[in-house]
């Protein structure tokens, strides 16, 4: 099953209030459907809107940090809760979390103004479904299926040619390197590491990411 989990710093907001904010700014409502992770930041209109608001408030944070996440699991109704993040990290399998480095607790300039603007739309909607609207915090969100699809850089690197052994000077070139999604060089590297260096990782080791 596709999907991923994301740790984030930001605030919690009802989907109804978020959608009212989006509609007022000319962006399609979510209706509780998560934005596609792989479209962030440049091809996601919600992310683009958030960053526009941040820069309008003289914010200087990276556009990669500001995004909306909506939790989802197969077989359940659409979420009534969304999260607006200023710092986040997605987990593919497993990794060490260094909260001070991976998830900065310093709120960037302009984010509080964005939070207040989105919260102002709570007055125009009824039955938001949550009692802690706008609460800042550290949250974990799971997004299932293709909307949560995440390929960490460690996996993308496996499709590049040449590949290099990390224990000797061996170099491996993929004869099919013209094919965009060929792992030929990576497989040769892994086979070499097993045969020559005794590696037990296999051809498709689980990344720490």
DSSP structural state of residue 4: E
pLDDT for 178? 59
Q: 29-38, pLDDT tens digit by residue?
A: 999 999 988 8
pLDDT for 3? 79
Percent with pLDDT over 70 in the chain: 95
pLDDT for 17? 95
What is the number of alpha carbons within 13 Å of residue 88 lying toward its C-beta? 26
179: number of Cβ within 10 Å: 12
Asked if 157 and 20 touch (Cβ cutoff 8 Å), the reply is no
For the chain, residues with pLDDT lower than 50 are: none
Three-class HEC string of 15-35: HHHHHHHHHHCCCCCCCCCCC
* Phi, psi (degrees; rounded to nearest 5) at 142: -105, 135
Task: For tokens 């958030």, name the residue.
Answer: 50
pLDDT for 74? 83
Closest CA to 13 of 108, 170, 141, 109: 141
CA atoms of 176 and 183, how far apart (whole Å) = 9
pLDDT for 55? 93
pLDDT for 97? 86
3-class secondary-structure state, position 2: coil
DSSP per position, 126-177: S--S-SSTT-EEEEEEEEEGGGG----HHHHGGG-SSEE-SSSS-EE--TTT
Q: What is the pTM of this model?
A: 0.86
Closest CA to 175 of 183, 97, 147: 183
Q: Which two tokens stand for residue 96?
A: 């060490």
pLDDT for 62? 87
């Amino acid at each position: 099953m596709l999907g991923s989990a994301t740790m984030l710093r930001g605030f919690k907001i009802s989907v109804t209030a978020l959608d009212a904010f989006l509609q007022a700014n000319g962006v399609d409502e979510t209706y509780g459907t998560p934005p596609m992770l792989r479209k962030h930041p440049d091809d996601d209109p919600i992310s683009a809107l958030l960053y526009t608001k941040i820069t309008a408030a003289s914010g200087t944070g990276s556009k990669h940090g500001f995004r909306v996440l909506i939790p989802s699991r197969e077989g359940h109704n659409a979420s009534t809760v969304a999260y607006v993040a200023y710092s986040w990290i997605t987990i593919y399998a497993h990794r060490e979390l260094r909260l001070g480095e991976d998830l900065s607790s310093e709120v960037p300039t302009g984010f509080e103004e964005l939070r207040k603007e989105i919260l102002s739309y709570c007055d125009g909607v009824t039955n938001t479904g949550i009692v802690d609207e706008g609460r800042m915090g550290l949250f974990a969100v799971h997004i299932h299926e293709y909307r949560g699809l995440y390929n960490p850089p460690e996996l993308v690197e496996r499709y590049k040619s040449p590949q290099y052994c990390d224990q000797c000077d061996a170099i491996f070139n993929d004869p099919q390197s013209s094919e965009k999604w060929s792992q030929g060089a990576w497989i040769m590297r892994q086979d070499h590491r097993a045969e020559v260096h005794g590696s037990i990782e296999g051809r498709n080791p689980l990344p720490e990411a």
